[in-house]
Amino acid sequence: MPVTDPSPALQAAVEPDEAALAERFERTVAAEERIEPRDWMPEAYRKTLIRQIAQHAHSEIIGMQPEGNWITRAPSLRRKAILLAKVQDEAGHGLYLYSAAETLGVDRAELLDLLHAGRQKYSSIFNYPTPTWADVGAIGWLVDGAAIVNQVPITRCSYGPYARAMVRICKEESFHQRQGFEILHHLSSGTPEQHAMAQDAVDRWWWPSLMMFGPPDDASPNSARSMAWKIKRFSNDELRQRFVDMAVPQAEALGLTLPDPELRWDAESGHYRFGAIDWTEFHEVLRGNGPCNALRVEHRVRAHEEGAWVREAADAYAAKHAARAGAEVAA
């Protein structure tokens, strides 16, 4: 129940000044406690999170397209069911993440408009095409695999709603990775044509997967601040290395070759060493010149525009019924 407004003098006494708030924020973050939506936070922290969570949410929903491309053509009913469930999960991830972003004072419709206008990004990995069924396997194994490596540390992010969304998401991502591995395993040990299909997909997805961790540390300007705020826990290069160390033995188990002649075990460091990444390609795709950038955004925009009349109808219906309910209460 609202009561009478407190006097300005009383309000000033109740509200601590900004320096005190900032100090409390720093202490909370340093103590590994969570920042919650009602807590004070620096404007730059809020902006960074909105950008990152929105980009993450956009990646989930744009990421539905390359695999969704195979739902109608999945080669067995079991595979069709698994793929449907997987792509549906990604839509669910998008929903959790847009909700997490909304706790920071933006709304989903606004963020979608920015995506559609090309003013917010999504992971560049989804700008590569899926010409064969094996691409569904390669995406599950490598792309969801890389996503797990990227996202597990975010379960400890300083911002509560984002960290909690990530806990739910990571559980599902490990199922995604397993089904991708299983698809490739079946293909690799299947007919010669199936094996070749699997190898071809891995050849095409390996390098773009390594690029998913972002530019090398010395070229990643915003990383240090995100690390200080405990939004980010490990550097891009650390995460990339972790992914390579995980993927190489799995590739061996699959009986598939990773397309990097320089890939070798380094006993001294206890890590796999890998060849140089083609950052020119990365920046080209980022700039919009990947094979599917235009296609992905067009598909999204078309679904959104073709659905406008449906969303309007739902709003109009809700408004009419609220008005009728109000009239009944009044009468």
Partner 1 sequence: MSAPARVESSAPVDQPATGAGTTAATVQYLLRLGDDALVLAQRLGAQLTRAPQLEEDVALANIALDLLGQARPLLARAGELEGRGRDEDALAFLREERDFLNCQLVEQPDVDFAGTIARQLLFSCYQLPLLQALTTSADEVLAGVAGKGVKEVAYHRDHAVQWTLRLGDGTEESSRRMQAALDRLWPFAAELFESDDLVRSLAVRGVAVDPASVRPRWDADVDAVLAEAGLARPSSVRVATGGRRGLHTECFGYLLAEMQHLARSHPGATW
Binding site for partner 1 (CB under 8 A): 61, 64-65, 68, 71-81, 84-85, 87-88, 91-92, 94-95, 98, 133, 183, 186-187, 190-191, 193-194, 299, 302-304, 306-314, 316-317, 320
Which listed option, partner 1, Fe ion, none, makes contact with residue 140 (CB within 5 to 8 Å by class)?
A: none
**DSSP conformational letter for 294:** H
Which listed option, Fe ion, partner 1, none, makes contact with residue 190 (CB within 5 to 8 Å by class)?
A: partner 1
Q: Which residues contact 159 (CB under 8 A, 6 or more apart)?
A: 34, 35, 49, 231
Give the x/- contact pattern for Fe ion in 96-125, rule: CB under 5 A. Answer: ------------------------------
Closest distance of CB 89 from Fe ion, Å: 6
What b/e readout covers 105-137, taking b as 16+ CB neighbours within 10 angstroms?
Answer: ebebeebbeebbeeebbbbbbbbbebebbbbbb
Looking at 18-26, 139-147, 198-206, 232-240, which segment touches Fe ion (CB under 5 A)? 139-147
Q: Which is nearer to partner 1, 136 or 251 (CB)?
A: 136
Which listed option, partner 1, Fe ion, none, makes contact with residue 273 (CB within 5 to 8 Å by class)?
A: none
- From 34, 58, 79, 93, residue interacting with Fe ion (rule: CB under 5 A): 93
CA–centroid distance for 280 within its chain: 23
Closest distance of CB 63 from Fe ion, Å: 7
Q: Which is nearer to partner 1, 216 or 255 (CB)?
A: 255
Q: Indicate the burial class of 56 (C-beta count within 10 angstroms; 0-12, 13-18, 19 or more).
A: buried
Q: Which is nearer to partner 1, 84 or 277 (CB)?
A: 84
Which listed option, Fe ion, partner 1, none, makes contact with residue 231 (CB within 5 to 8 Å by class)?
A: none
Which listed option, partner 1, Fe ion, none, makes contact with residue 144 (CB within 5 to 8 Å by class)?
A: Fe ion
Q: Which residues contact 197 (CB under 8 A, 6 or more apart)?
A: 132, 133, 134, 187
Closest distance of CB 124 from Fe ion, Å: 16
257: part of which helix (H) or strand (E)? none
Return d(Cα 122, Cα 53) in angstroms, integer: 10
Looking at 82-90, 253-261, 272-280, 315-323, which segment touches Fe ion (CB under 5 A)? 82-90
* Residue 56 near Fe ion by CB under 5 A: no
Q: In the beta sheet, which residues pair with residue 205? A: none
Asked if 67 and 91 touch (Cβ cutoff 8 Å), the reply is no
Which listed option, Fe ion, partner 1, none, makes contact with residue 93 (CB within 5 to 8 Å by class)?
A: Fe ion
* CA neighbor of 209 nearest in space, from 271, 143, 274, 127: 143
Q: Which is nearer to Fe ion, 28 or 65 (CB)?
A: 65
Closest distance of CB 125 from partner 1, Å: 16
- From 176, 185, 242, 296, residue interacting with Fe ion (rule: CB under 5 A): 176
* Residue 144 near Fe ion by CB under 5 A: yes
Asked if 172 and 83 touch (Cβ cutoff 8 Å), the reply is no
Which listed option, partner 1, Fe ion, none, makes contact with residue 227 (CB within 5 to 8 Å by class)?
A: none
* CA neighbor of 28 nearest in space, from 191, 20, 199, 179: 20
Beta strands in the chain (DSSP E): 264-266, 271-273
Asked if 136 and 183 touch (Cβ cutoff 8 Å), the reply is yes
Q: Which residues contact 201 (CB under 8 A, 6 or more apart)?
A: 132, 134, 135, 137, 138, 184
Q: Which is nearer to partner 1, 121 or 299 (CB)?
A: 299
Q: Which is nearer to partner 1, 74 or 147 (CB)?
A: 74
Residues in contact with Fe ion by CB under 5 A are 60, 90, 93, 144, 173, 176
